[in-house]
Amino acid sequence: MANYTTIALLQNRVRPENLAQMADDVTTTPITTTAQATASLALAGTIANMNQAITDASRLIDSWLLGHVDMADADTLTSIEPHCAYIALYNLATRRFMNDENNPWAGSYKNAMAWLKGQARGELHVQTNPDSPSTMVTYSKSSTDRTITSTELSNYV
């Protein structure tokens, strides 16, 4: 099993203060400055929590996609990375929020899971340039490819 995203890529998707709040088990005061976030994100426990969230997200992806898509293909890996990051961020956020209603990553997680299910069914193509990975996918149930919206994607959830 490979990890399909990295801590650096998680950091590109969320403000450092927010990522530190989700992953840090040590700091007891609110993390409100970039300096506090940088210090928090360097803690061994925080790094371990982020790595665990990435590993769990990657395992989830493997459970849906192994045997259904070519996991060694560069386009596949490029397409999987954003979805893995969104699942990992959701995993981190669930450590702090009691339910999906309060989890800011719940929508991205739901869309990523819909994408995984569509991939596993062979109904969605791997995106070669996932600019908006969890909101637009290429759909190919018929002989004509088209792009569908996140609303249509919810049919796969």
Residues 88-108 have pLDDT tens digits of 999 999 987 767 888 888 999
Compute the distance between CA of residue 11 and CA of residue 17 in angstroms, rounded to an integer. 10
Model confidence at 67, pLDDT cuts 50, 70, 90, reads confident
DSSP three-state, residue 33: coil
- Measured between alpha carbons, how far is residue 22 from residues 14, 25, 78, 90, 140 in Å? 11, 8, 25, 10, 37
Measured in degrees and rounded to the nearest 5, phi and psi for residue 133 equal -60, -35
Compute the distance between CA of residue 75 and CA of residue 147 in angstroms, rounded to an integer. 18
Compute the distance between CA of residue 136 and CA of residue 141 in angstroms, rounded to an integer. 15
Question: Residue 155 CA to chain centroid, in angstroms?
Answer: 19
Task: Please state the domain extents for the chain.
Answer: 7-156
Residues 108-120 have pLDDT tens digits of 999 999 989 988 8
138/22: higher pLDDT = 22
